[in-house]
């Protein structure tokens, strides 16, 4: 069996499962945020279900429109807040401690290997970096999971992506996943598990790995997953609050895959996904020089401390030529960046530093685009209208490429600044 099949078998109380099999799985952690959870709460109230399956297994953080961007989003936050308090949700991150969910949950030690995690957000697949099964669900599934602690799943077939070689200077995990999606297509892994393996991965930090699993959904996948190793263990030792033993699963040597794709990471260049699909990735050489109006460095894909350090290294002593937003994904990342003096660098360069939020990544607020504007962004989607006007354009890239492009105001090869 693959690692995904083993985790799902355990959650379903079975010895084995096969792709295509329908199972009822026990859920270990449910992630709740301010856009998809309030409707789930309303559904539960309407059905007269005034309970949660386990107040310690639900993690709540407003993030999409927090701090509240308008009256309607304030109402969403109010509904979330009242519900979390009513049910004594143990892990409720209120503003001040709230952050972009997929950066916050691992950082606060809620993600454990071998577990099944669901969240009312498509990028919930991020947590697969920790050898866990995690997938995004809608509000109705969320309501059902909150009430029962279980959900039905169809066991996905797996595709293996073997990342060989070492990344070159100026090339990051974001460039790897943009390369993978450019080859796979935005529905090339539809309904499938994307399992990542290989020596290039072994050299990546957990933060870098999360960027890869984060974007599995952009290839249509149900989950992205990476096996457990020393890097995983060390991160968990530093972050898990509950030290009780977790289950480590790995794919068998004779596990069945729909496909095995090989990538030579030493050949990967800094990539930019052109509008309007995440699969539009091309090497920077093919698009350098295109004029931008804004740079955005943040989000669940690339708003972690490592990302901010990479951007700061390039921006140090430089001045940005376009509007540049730095959005640390969580309060502790914000504090860390401040303690390390990164904010001084960003300030001197002329960037604006925002509070943790999903913000403009999804066109919510704090940096939305006008008609005709172009944004180089470290986020995950470049669909029509994603960051604002339907007539604006989003170019996806690594924090390094975004920072280099901010300096010249054009799509720029980050290696020029290294």
Partner 1 sequence: MPKAHVYKRDHINTDEIIPARYLNTDNEAELAKHCLEDLDADFVNKVKPGDCIVAGEDFGCGSSREHAVWAIRGAGILAVIAKSFARIFYRNAINNGFYVIESADALEKIDNGDELEIDYKTGLIKNRTADIDIKFEPLPEFAREIIEDGGLLNHITKTIK
Q: Is 220 in the site for partner 1 (CB under 8 A)?
A: yes
Residue among 118 and 329 whose Cβ is closer to partner 1: 118
Start-end of H helices in 87-215: 101-107, 139-148, 173-184, 199-202, 206-214
Residue among 372 and 390 whose Cβ is closer to partner 1: 390
Q: Is 35 in the site for partner 1 (CB under 8 A)?
A: yes
Residue among 185 and 198 whose Cβ is closer to partner 1: 185
Residue among 108 and 279 whose Cβ is closer to partner 1: 279
Contact 328, 346 (CB under 8 A): no
Please report where in the chains the tokens 């009822």 appear, as a residue: 24
Residues 150-169 that bind partner 1 (CB under 8 A): 152
**Phi, psi values for residue 266, rounded to 5°:** -70, -15
Q: Could you give the CA distance from residue 217 to residue 164 in angstroms, rounded to a whole number?
A: 22
DSSP state of 329: S
- Angle at the Cα of 283 (from 387 to 304), degrees rounded to 5? 50
> Which pair of tokens denotes residue 307?
């990302």
Question: Residue 387 Cβ, how far from partner 1 at the closest point, in Å?
Answer: 9
Q: Is 373 in the site for partner 1 (CB under 8 A)?
A: no
Contact 386, 359 (CB under 8 A): no
**DSSP readout, 226-240?**
E---HHHHHHHHHH-
| CA distance to 4, 112, 257, per residue, from 249 (Å) | 9, 12, 17
Closest by CA position to 20, among listed 219, 136, 148, 193:
193
The residue within the footprint of partner 1, chosen from 42, 55, 164, 205 (CB under 8 A), is 42
Stretch that binds partner 1, among 193-201, 321-329, 340-348, 384-392 (CB under 8 A): 384-392
Residue among 69 and 318 whose Cβ is closer to partner 1: 69
The most distant pair of C-alpha atoms in the chain lies apart, rounded to whole Å, by: 61
Residues 129-148 that bind partner 1 (CB under 8 A): 136-141, 143-144, 147-148
The residue within the footprint of partner 1, chosen from 102, 160, 374, 381 (CB under 8 A), is 381
Q: Is 368 in the site for partner 1 (CB under 8 A)?
A: yes
- For 161, what's the count of Cα atoms within 13 Å in the CB-facing half-sphere? 27
Residue among 167 and 368 whose Cβ is closer to partner 1: 368
Q: How many residues bind partner 1 (CB under 8 A)?
A: 51
Q: Is 121 in the site for partner 1 (CB under 8 A)?
A: yes
The residue within the footprint of partner 1, chosen from 45, 370, 384, 418 (CB under 8 A), is 384
The total of other beta-carbon atoms located within 10 Å of residue 356's CB is 27
Question: Residue 126 Cβ, how far from partner 1 at the closest point, in Å?
Answer: 13
Contact 189, 278 (CB under 8 A): no
Residue among 124 and 173 whose Cβ is closer to partner 1: 124
Contact 174, 301 (CB under 8 A): yes
Q: Is 24 in the site for partner 1 (CB under 8 A)?
A: no
Stretch that binds partner 1, among 71-79, 89-97, 282-290, 401-409 (CB under 8 A): 71-79
Q: Is 180 in the site for partner 1 (CB under 8 A)?
A: no
Q: Is 199 in the site for partner 1 (CB under 8 A)?
A: no
Q: Could you give the CA distance from residue 264 to residue 100 in angstroms, rounded to a whole number?
A: 32
Residue among 72 and 244 whose Cβ is closer to partner 1: 72
Residues 6+ apart with CB under 8 A from 16: 1, 5, 9
Give me the residues that bind partner 1 (CB under 8 A), please: 22, 35-36, 38-39, 42-44, 47-49, 64-65, 69-70, 72-73, 76, 120-122, 124, 136-141, 143-144, 147-148, 152, 186-187, 190-191, 220, 222, 277, 362-364, 368, 381, 383-386, 388, 390
């Amino acid at each position: 069996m693959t690692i995904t099949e083993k985790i799902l078998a355990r959650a379903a109380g079975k010895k084995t499962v096969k792709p295509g099999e329908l199972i009822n799985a026990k859920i270990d952690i449910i992630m709740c945020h301010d856009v998809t959870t309030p409707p789930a709460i309303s559904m539960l109230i309407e059905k007269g279900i005034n309970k949660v399956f386990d107040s310690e297994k639900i993690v709540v953080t407003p993030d999409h429109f927090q701090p509240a961007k308008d009256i309607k989003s304030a109402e969403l936050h109010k509904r979330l807040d009242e519900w979390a308090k009513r049910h004594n949700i143990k892990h409720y991150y209120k503003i001040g401690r709230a952050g972009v969910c997929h950066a916050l949950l691992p950082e606060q030690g809620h993600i454990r290997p071998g577990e099944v995690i669901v969240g009312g957000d498509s990028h919930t697949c991020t947590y697969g970096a920790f050898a866990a099964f995690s997938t995004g669900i809608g509000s109705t599934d969320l309501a059902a999971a909150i009430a029962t602690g279980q959900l039905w799943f169809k066991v996905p077939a797996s595709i293996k992506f073997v990342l060989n070689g070492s990344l070159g200077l100026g090339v990051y995990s974001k460039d790897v996943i943009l390369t993978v999606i450019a080859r796979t297509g935005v529905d090339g892994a539809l309904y499938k598990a994307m399992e990542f393996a290989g020596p290039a991965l072994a050299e990546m930090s957990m933060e870098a790995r999360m960027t890869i699993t984060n974007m599995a959904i952009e290839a249509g996948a149900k989950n992205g997953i990476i096996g457990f190793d020393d890097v995983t263990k060390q991160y968990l030792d530093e972050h898990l609050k509950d030290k009780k033993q977790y289950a480590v699963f790995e794919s068998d040597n004779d596990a069945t895959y729909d496909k095995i794709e090989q990538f030579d990471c030493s050949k990967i260049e800094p990539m930019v996904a052109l509008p309007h699909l995440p699969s539009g990735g091309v090497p920077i050489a093919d698009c350098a020089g295109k004029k931008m109006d804004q740079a955005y460095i943040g989000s669940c894909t690339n708003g972690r401390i490592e990302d901010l350090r990479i951007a700061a290294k390039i921006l140090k002593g430089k001045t940005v030529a376009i509007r540049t937003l730095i959005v640390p994904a969580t309060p502790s990342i914000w504090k860390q960046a401040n303690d390390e003096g990164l904010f001084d660098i960003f300030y001197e360069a002329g960037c604006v530093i925002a509070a943790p939020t999903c913000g403009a990544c999804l066109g919510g607020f704090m940096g939305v685009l006008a008609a005709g504007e172009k944004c180089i962004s470290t986020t995950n989607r470049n669909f029509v209208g994603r960051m604002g006007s339907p007539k604006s354009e989003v170019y996806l890239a690594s924090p390094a490429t975004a920072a280099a492009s901010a300096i010249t105001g054009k799509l720029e090869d980050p290696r020029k600044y290294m």
